[in-house]
Structure 1
Amino acid sequence: MKKITVLCLLNLHISFAQNYTEYQTGSTTDVTTNHQSGVCLMGGASEQEDAMIWFLNKADGGDVVVLRASGSDGYNDYFFSDLEVSINSVTTFVFNNEAGAIDPYVLDKVANAEAIWFAGGDQYDYVSYFKDNAMEDALNTFVNVKQGVIGGTSAGLAILGGSYFSAQNGTVTNAEALNNPYSPKVALGYNDFLNIPYLNNVITDSHYDDPDRRARHSVFLARIATDNTTLSFGIACNEYTAVCVEPDGKAYVYGEYPVYDEFAYFLKANCTTDFDPENCSAGNPLTWNRGGEAIKVYKVPGTESGVNFFDLSDWETGSGGEWKNWSIDDGDFTAVSGINPECASLSILEVQLAQISIHPNPFVDTITIESEKEIESIQLTDILGKTIPVKLKSDSTADLSSLTSGVYFLSLKRNLVTQFFRIVKK
């Protein structure tokens, strides 16, 4: 009887000039709730129910909007009734083009939502329909101003990172990416689409059960590091695994381990002075070895209670997982056991070995930078890759008193060579 009632709540879909189709379930009257922020990254197969309940609870009884470029109303009943979480409504939009995405009616629904979900499909449709237009603005306002919860699966997950694989030229295999990291198929975007907390310089991937995923994901990180001269990060999920990020940056992993091998992976370029690939160039196999520790990976089993986590506020602290070392040598990918990189532990001695003295480290308000050669430029970024303005004074000091406590990365360019250092604000 309950199922019949729910079906009656699903309004007939309406098409507007073939730009989009709408499916609406539940109340048509908007509500305002005490919603919460968060990010849900789903691995690409059927949804992990505990993570979906987490997602819906963040809406606090509000309105859910589902955005997709294929399919129909598959999420409406699932969100509205199957998970037994009380919400006001579910509205699904299936877009045929950019015009549908920027329709004022659609944008109003997005603005009034408490939760937004991206379905699977082809992520290049999302990039084509949502990027550099009013929908992009609406989504970033929803996340950063309204602070609603957002999430997605498969292609919907792929677009949530600050860096993203657009699939503009189709998918790419491990072998294609490893043998030519600048193949047209390795189509990447950098910090020009969605701006989601804790996901700057992060590139996501799903379907990690597929062996043809991990090496190509590593190539994506190599490209980010090479093209942007910055540390790169990644998050990936096995198909039935989900990562749910709380406002404090803790990413909890949901799945059904140990019944099934369901894991999430947190990838980061190793925090050494020379972290970038030895050879990442067009037409040549990738080499990113760095002593077998080019990429540090924290592998976390997902449980129904979501007890295991990794902290995206420092990219070092975790619970319930194990560290791995990934590396690539002339196009050959290797994964072995590893240890915590402990990025905050860079000593003054290590900095001095690079012929630059940065002190004190850790610091309170100011640092002094002494170099045997003239420093041409200086750049400071936080752990998430956000650039912070900094100016070196005539006495070789920099005032960093406005920073919050944590780990930061300082890049110094001299003689056309850029060197990277970790500094810690107390």
Structure 2
Amino acid sequence: MIKNNILFAGLIAASIFSSGSLKAQCAPVSEFSENFDALFCCDFGVVPPCWNSYYTNDGGNQIISNTSPASSPRNVYQIGYNKVSIVIMPTLTNINAGTHHFKFKARVSPGSTPGFLEFGYMTDAANPASFVVLQPITIANGTYDNTSERIFEVPTTVPANARLAIRNPGTTWVGHYWDDAVWEPKTALSTNDLKLNDFKIYPNPFTDFITLSETKEVQQLKITDVSGRLIKIIEKPSSKINLSELKAGIYFMTIDFKDGKSQTIKTIKE
């Protein structure tokens, strides 16, 4: 789990943030499924009832768009270099129970470079500085295809009063679209999902080499740094990979499987 991005340290003065959707507190829920189809374009910060949103006054952009949604007719759109926006999900009764996971479908504007969002949580829905990253999300697909769906685990160490959130940290110019956000029991996992969760990269930390616990079903390995910059793509990787050229630091290894699923693992090079 990564601590709050340094980016926010210089941005969090209250004067630079607008609340796109500050709604009354709703009763916590144990599950939700949201396709955003009841919402309309194009005011900034529009989110469903019991959700919240934030965007920077200097150009942060988060709207509801009807551009190629995963499930017609609408989806969320976030864009803006150095312009931060956050979409905050409903209060949950079981955020740290270890019984549920979050999933959604995401894409970027066709023909653009890979996009970068962050899945995490906020300990104070009224304070954007309280956002904590759980997993970075590198998005390369320009359409909603068989690689669009992402599944995220939530550690049991997350505070019980936290709210899950998706943040665009503003590190790219790319337009990000996402749809079909679901908080559901892990029992809904397929056999392939269970195999995905067993996947390992070791040793971690590593020095020059990493080993993949399974390669038969792996299509490619993408390596990004903590800023979301794509460092390397390895097509059909072997089980042992030489990464001696990488500098010491934190890297995120995104494994794309042949069945369209993906998994991101935080690694440290010493």
Q: Under TM normalisation by the shorter chain, which class is it?
A: 0.3 to 0.5
Looking at CA atoms only, which structure, 1 or 2, has the larger radius of gyration? 1
Normalised to the residue count of structure 1, the TM-score between the two structures is 0.30
Judging by fraction of residues, say which structure has more helix.
Answer: 1
Normalised to the residue count of structure 2, the TM-score between the two structures is 0.43
Larger RCO (CA under 8 A, 6+ residues apart): 2
Judging by fraction of residues, say which structure has more strand.
Answer: 2
